[in-house]
Copies of this chain bind each other. A is one copy, B any other.
Amino acid sequence: MPFRWDYKQHAALAWFVLKWLAICLPLGIVVGSSVAIFLWALHVVTLLQWDNSWLLYLLPLAGIASGLMYHYLGREAEAGNNLIMEQIHQPGGGVPLRMAPLVLIGTLITHLFGGSAGREGTAVQMGGSLAGVLGRLLKLTPDETRILLSAGVAAGFGAVFGTPLTGAIFAVEVIAIGKMSYKALIPCLLASVIGDQVNTAWGIGHTHYHIGFAAEISSSLSAVSLDWALTGKVAIAAIFFGLASVLFAELTHAISGTAKRFIAIPWLRPAVGGCVVIALVWLLGTRDYLGLGVTPHPPDSGMICIESCFQPGGADWMSWWWKLLFTAVTVGSGFKGGEVTPLFFIGAALGNVTGVMLGAPVDLMAGLGFVAVFAGATNTPLACTIMAIELFGPGNGELLSSGFVVYAAIACFLSYFLSGSSSIYQAQKRDEGKAESGKPKVEEEELSS
């Protein structure tokens, strides 16, 4: 076989990269800026909600407003993340521009009035929607449109959490369960990095979580010696993380399905959901499970939130369940927002108590739960392992020396695997089971409202 050097192929590949850089540059700038506006506005409405606790009592009315808005203006945008995934699988009607402002306003309504929801759904839908517009403007082919939509998702996700590589991997990994295609990898990385950096350039930062846990390093060489007892505890915790993710996904779907069955008028569903949230607040006597739940307000108030879960005693035994229930009711009844930040909360709280229960470092377990419940609920184990590195690694070299990468991989991979065919995204492709013996039934479910 003679020496082979196919100049044309390399030129074509370089052209592909340059073309997508040219496309992803405006996409990243627009999506990163939109996410910056969103995160800023989210901060403002969260403060408003904290300072005006009576706003919670308007949650049912807010639900009606949000419901009416989507009922009259939403059309296909209602399907949200699932619509974007469907369009990536099989480009059809496209992702409408209206999705971006609708989900932005809808999410701000949810958080202003105290609903329990997240923000990644909003960022992903803004990214997908703006990508859809750009694709129509540029008259891209169906194949290019799929790539562009993935890049929009990557830009939104990367920017909203400040984790660019995670955003890129998430966008290609979330499309289908149990396999990954690299077709969109380069555009997703370009868009995600640009989106994140533009968001950062607008002065929007992200919460820094610190895991103090560090094993004693016995060797001067770079070999990492795992603590086998701790590894076992991580594996046991991963079972809980995986089951919590199933519980969340299935409960949200069940609440959504039940609401659709018993409440004929779509915009009344979130109103009922809002009433249930108010009832839960009364019943529990705490507002800790409202909103995003990232930081406490006021600081040092002893409020249970993601940050507190990294401290011993920072979560109650059932905190994870209450956040799960609050969010399943809020999102399942039709409020807009995302599920991922609540999944972080559920995971961190569950990790906190699992750590106490198993005698493992609470901050380590909170950090692992943070990413692993998300991995189970979205079937994105690689993105979540990388998220653990991008979120907890910077400034913390001792953590990586302690085998954290392996602990994160075990937690995320096992949680992903054990969650079976459950997913918060019903449009995820799932043509094979995770294991031959565990063949999930592929159910034809309605994907939109």
Binding site for B on A (CB under 8 A): 1-6, 9-10, 12-17, 143, 162, 164-165, 168-169, 178-183, 185-186, 189, 193, 197, 199-201, 204-209, 217, 219-226, 228, 231, 239, 243, 246, 250-251, 253-254, 256-258, 381-382, 385-386, 389-391, 393-401, 405-406, 409-410, 413-414, 417-418, 420-421, 432, 434-438, 440-441, 445
A414 to B405, CA, bound (A): 24
8 other A-B residue contacts (CB within 8 Å) besides A10-B243, A222-B394: A12-B438, A13-B435, A164-B406, A182-B434, A197-B228, A204-B223, A389-B400, A393-B400
Residues of B contacting A400 with CB < 8 Å?
A: 389-390, 393-397, 400
Across the interface, name the chain B residue whose C-beta is closest to A6: B420
Quick check: A406 and B204 within 8 Å, CB to CB?
A: no
Quick check: A226 and B405 within 8 Å, CB to CB?
A: no
Across the interface, name the chain B residue whose C-beta is closest to A21: B235
Question: Which 6 pairs from chain A and chain B are nearest by CB?
Answer: A205-B221, A1-B257, A397-B397, A12-B438, A3-B254, A208-B222
Residues of B contacting A413 with CB < 8 Å?
A: 185-186, 189
Quick check: B205 and A12 within 8 Å, CB to CB?
A: no
Q: How far is the CB of A234 from chain B (nearest CB, A)?
A: 11
Which of B178, B226, B397, B440 makes the CB contact (< 8 A) with A398? B397
Q: How far is the CB of A151 from chain B (nearest CB, A)?
A: 13
Residues of B contacting A250 with CB < 8 Å?
A: 3-5
13 A-B pairs with C-beta separation under 8 A: A1-B253, A10-B420, A10-B438, A13-B435, A15-B437, A162-B224, A168-B409, A199-B223, A205-B220, A389-B389, A389-B400, A393-B400, A395-B397
Q: How far is the CB of A369 from chain B (nearest CB, A)?
A: 18
Quick check: A221 and B207 within 8 Å, CB to CB?
A: yes
Q: How far is the CB of A201 from chain B (nearest CB, A)?
A: 8
